[in-house]
Structures are given as C-alpha cells and as structure tokens.
C-alpha cells in the first residue's frame, strides 16, 4: 500500500493552508497513494496564540472539514488530516480528523499528551489554551488493516503505541512538529523506537521548516519499517515522503524476532480508563 506524507509549508492564511493541503492530497492520489497524511497544525501556525482564531468544529459546514472530506472523496484516498485546533463545547483541542476514501469522517484523535517544553531557546505550553483528549482508538481501513493515530508529543509515551499495537494495528501515524531542539535529538529515535517496540510501520509527518515562524519545525517527515529502518525521509523543505508499505513484513518480522508473542500478559497489563 502506497502512502504519502505531505510535508507542507504552513503560513498565516488559513485559506491558503487548506488549499495547499488539498493540492498536495490530489498529487498524492495521482501518484497512486491510498493514504495521505498532513502535518500537525496544517491550517494554522503552530503557537498557542493562534489556536483559538484558527479553530473549527469538526463537522460539515466548517471549511477545513468540508475541504478535506471533499478531496478525499473525489480522489478516493484516505486522509489523516494532521491536526487542527478543534473547537468543541467552549474548549479547544489539538485534533486529527481521519477521513476514509469516501470522504466520511472515521475518527477524531484528540492529542492526549499536551506539549510542554522549557529550554533556553524553545518555550511552549499547549496546556495554556488546549484541553487534552483521553482516548486511543484504532481505525479500521478494511481488508483487516488497522492503524493508530497520535499527535506529536503523544509519541513520547510508549504505552499509547502499545495500546494501539494490542488492538492489532499495522501502522502508527504521528503528525508532529518537533522543533530545532527536540528534532535533532529525538525525532528519528522515537519514530524508530515505536516501530521496533511494536513491530509495525511508523509514519511521521511534519510541516516544512519556516525559519520566520516563532516555533520552527524540524521537518524530516519519515516512514519507518517494522525493523526500524528508515524507508523514506525528507530534508526540511516542502516536499512529499512516499513509500510502499509491504504489510507482509510485519508478520515476517514478528516470526523472526517474536517480541509481540513474548508479551507477558500474565505478568502485567495496560489498563485504559
């Protein structure tokens, strides 16, 4: 199954951002991809001061929902719509919409682990304006294929990936926007770690780097295979990262190095409330 990560440049114009996303999804479909992934915060500059202004409800009649649903349907392609600031009941969430190839919203993942950082060069606390989600739910694509979606800082938490794997996912998708501190330190490492721990593919989709932005994204969108090898990656500029996911590799990897069947379900378990 061919997949495309759309490492798009995100600017100040919400309309232009949505239009860019739509065009990149159309191009992904033309190249034969069955699934396109957009980055975290693809309709909005990444920053707490922007989230309210750019937020929308995730339902028909709202511009981001309508545009992505339409392009998914018209191009018969699944779309993991990175994330946008979601407005719901007077709260804001950092949320990813997952549309199937008929344009139906199959799932919303609300970022569970809100991002905080406090270094000399980067400071940010999403919790100042965002509320956190509480749920992990694998999405079924048909033909027995399931995947899990989580957002950026969520990748720091191996128990969330573990939860998805225990539900039978074949790949994990993380729209994310690591920065110039955590990007070089941990972007590839965590992607490869989640892939190897759970013996499945991992897709990480970043915005392109905008050095004029307050928060500068690392880029380097990446697709990792179940052995932890980087199948495809990018530099920091606006581009695609495409790969063919050979899902049979999962079973083969698990037979060779039986991590998954060695889980000691009798000794410990993960409880999701």
Give yes or no: 237 in active site: no
Handedness of CA 24, 30, 33, 34 (dihedral sign): positive
Q: In terms of CB distance, is 102 or 125 closer to its own copies?
A: 125
Q: In terms of CB distance, is 81 or 92 closer to its own copies?
A: 92
CA angle 132, 171, 194 (to 5 degrees): 70
Give me the 227-256 binding string for its own copies, x by CB under 8 A, dash otherwise: xx--------------------------xx
CA neighbor of 80 nearest in space, from 142, 110, 35 = 35
263 binds its own copies (CB under 8 A): yes
Q: Which stretch binds its own copies (CB under 8 A): 56-64, 74-82, 116-124, 243-251?
A: 116-124
| Contacting residue, 90, 142, 144, 262, with its own copies by CB under 8 A | 262
113 binds its own copies (CB under 8 A): yes
Least separation in angstroms between CB 138 and its own copies: 15
Q: In terms of CB distance, is 76 or 91 closer to its own copies?
A: 91
88, 97, 171 from 260: Cα distances, Å: 38, 29, 14
Q: Which residue out of 14, 20, 87, 111 is catalytically annotated?
A: 111
**Residue 117 pairs with which residues in a beta bridge?**
124
Give yes or no: 152 in active site: yes
| Contacting residue, 66, 101, 156, 249, with its own copies by CB under 8 A | 156
| CA separation for the pair 171, 149 (Å, rounded) | 9
Count of residues interacting with its own copies (CB under 8 A): 45
What does the DSSP 8-state code read for residue 217? B
CA angle 34, 18, 31 (to 5 degrees): 25
32 binds its own copies (CB under 8 A): no
| CA separation for the pair 191, 172 (Å, rounded) | 9
169 binds its own copies (CB under 8 A): no
196 binds its own copies (CB under 8 A): yes
What does the DSSP 8-state code read for residue 131? P
The pair of three-digit structure tokens given for residue 94, joined into one six-digit string:
């950092």
Length of the chain (residues): 273
- For 180, phi then psi, to 5°, come to -75, -10
Binding site for its own copies (CB under 8 A): 112-114, 116-119, 132, 134-135, 153, 156-160, 162-163, 182, 185-186, 189-190, 192-193, 196-197, 227-228, 255-259, 262-264, 266-273
Annotated catalytic residues are 40, 111, 152
């Amino acid at each position: 199954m061919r997949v495309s990560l759309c490492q798009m440049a995100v600017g100040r114009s919400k309309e232009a951002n949505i239009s860019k996303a739509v065009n990149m999804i159309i191009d992904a479909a033309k190249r034969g991809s069955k699934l396109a992934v957009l980055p975290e915060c693809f309709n909005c500059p990444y920053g707490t001061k922007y989230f309210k202004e750019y937020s929308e409800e995730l339902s028909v009649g709202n511009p981001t929902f309508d545009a992505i649903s339409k392009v998914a349907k018209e191009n018969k392609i699944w779309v993991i719509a990175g994330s946008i600031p979601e407005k719901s009941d007077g709260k804001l969430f950092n949320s990813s919409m997952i549309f199937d190839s008929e344009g139906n919203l199959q799932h919303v993942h609300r970022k569970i682990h809100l991002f905080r950082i406090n270094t000399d060069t980067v400071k940010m606390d999403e919790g100042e304006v965002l509320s956190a989600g509480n749920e992990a739910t694998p999405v079924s694509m048909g033909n027995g294929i399931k995947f899990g979606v989580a957002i950026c800082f969520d990748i720091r938490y191996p128990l969330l990936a573990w939860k998805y794997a225990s539900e039978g996912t074949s790949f994990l998708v993380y729209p994310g926007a690591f920065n110039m501190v955590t990007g070089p330190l941990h972007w590839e490492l965590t992607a490869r770690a989640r892939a190897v721990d759970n013996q499945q593919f991992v897709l990480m989709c970043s915005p392109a780097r905008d050095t004029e932005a307050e928060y500068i994204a690392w880029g380097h969108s990446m697709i990792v295979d179940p052995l932890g090898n980087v199948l495809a990656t990018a530099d920091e500029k606006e581009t695609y990262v495409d790969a063919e996911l050979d899902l049979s590799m999962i079973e083969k990897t698990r037979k060779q190095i039986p991590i998954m069947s060695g889980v000691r379900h009798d000794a410990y378990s993960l409880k999701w409330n």
